[in-house]
Amino acid sequence: MLQVTVIKQKPDWVKERLAIRNFKNPELVDEIIALDDERRATQTAFDTMQASINSASKNIGQYMAQGNKEEAERLKASIAGNKAEATRLNEQLATIEKNLQGKLIMLPNLPADRVPAGKGAEDNVVVREGGKKPQLPENALPHWELIKEYNLVDFETGAKITGSGFPLYRGNGAKLQRSLVQYFLDYNTSKGYTEYLPPFMVNEASAYATGQLPDKEGQMYHVTEDNLYLIPTAEVPVTNIYRDVILKENELPIRMTAYSPCFRREAGSFGKDVRGLNRVHQFEKVEIIQLVLPKYSYNVLDEMVHHVEGLVQSLALPYRILKLCGGDMGFTSALTYDFEVYSAAQQRWLEVSSVSNFESYQTNRMKCRYKDADGKMQLVHSLNGSSLALPRIMACLLENNQTEKCIRIPEVLQKYYGSAMIM
């Protein structure tokens, strides 16, 4: 959530940055400023009235001690009227604050200066590419055929158990999933990230704090009786560890990593681009999250991009890194880099990671702060990245490493998988 002070200090600049996102309601900026002015005026009136009540209350005691009951009774009558007015002002203040918060949460994060203008994915900028696209045998198969041939994933039984888009991994498929999760966690912890295993459902406050509510409620599975949400990513519970927490400056940065299943409704998804593991409702992912001092957050973002790049390189997958344009960024992000790996059998790029800097957008919602050297409260910056999402990684590993007789296992995974190939 944007800070009101920033909006009021630089309203024209805020509108300019929102235009980079193609935001359609810039008038919200003016409405927020007007509501905050009204809130301040009402707060001043309430404080003045409360001070008058307190002063009169003291004087009543003095008049009673002096035996001046007539003046004491006059003040009592005056206080009764003032209390009624104070109650009205307090109720008015609550209504204004509710309306103000309702407007604030409708504003997305402001894109950073280095975010390119653009309307959609076609305007994203390729930062760099790496790896080598493999030469596949003539009879190469897409991964949805390979998982049938090698009996790795059973979509039909998964659909029977739950519904479409809930894959059932079996045998070597389950083993490969477990190997990937363990490798990703080991890779992250070796770089200084602390591992967590979070709850896989969160309450409304947690979903609001990281920006899933009210922006993405239609994409989350909602347990209505308990008002809990199945997580779309480990980012949500792990970042919320520090909701309503005041940190010391020397405690930052905080580096966290976590494995979790992820649940996304993906309403309306259909067609060839979502076949097999390309898009599912339940999948596994390993996440990295950092909470940092604001002055270091963009250096940390670059560091996290290099971290994920090293992980993709270690799997010997061809990849490219995209800087997302304003029209393609997530609601809460100030700057996002996407990683895509090349699916040789499908001959297309598949997204496997997003690495984002949220600046203070999430931490303002979470009230996650630190005391600076002068003892003043400041908001920390939060960042996160996929490290990595498993389904499309597995799809590309299967397709790109297929031979006429087997599927090769990348060298870094062999000690986890226990073999150099899937036969």
Per the annotation, binding residues for L-serine are 233, 264, 287, 384
Decide if 207 contacts 333 (C-beta within 8 A). Answer: no
Distance CA 85, CA 67 (A): 29
From the annotation, which residues make up the binding site? 233, 264-266, 280-283, 287, 351-354, 384
Distance CA 90, CA 412 (A): 63
Decide if 332 contacts 235 (C-beta within 8 A). Answer: no
**Closest residue by Cα to residue 322 from 354, 367, 368, 295:** 354
Q: Beta partners for 257?
A: 195, 288
Distance CA 335, CA 323 (A): 8
Torsion of CA 159, 163, 164, 170, to 10 degrees: -40
Amino acid residing at 76: K
Distance CA 419, CA 423 (A): 10
Q: Beta partners for 343?
A: 348
Residue with tokens 């007015």: 85
Q: Residue 256: in which H helix or E strand, if any?
A: strand 254-263
Distance CA 200, CA 214 (A): 19
Query: Counting beta carbons within 10 angstroms of the beta carbon of residue 198, is it exposed (0 to 12), middle (13 to 18) or buried (19 or more)?
Result: buried
Local structure of 127: helix, strand or coil: strand
Amino acid residing at 130: G
Residue with tokens 């809930």: 166
Decide if 79 contacts 35 (C-beta within 8 A). Answer: no
From the annotation, which residues make up the binding site for ATP? 264-266, 280-283, 351-354
Distance CA 122, CA 36 (A): 38
Decide if 388 contacts 311 (C-beta within 8 A). Answer: yes
Looking from the CA of 44 toward its CB, the CA atoms found within 13 Å total: 6
Q: Beta partners for 290?
A: 255, 383
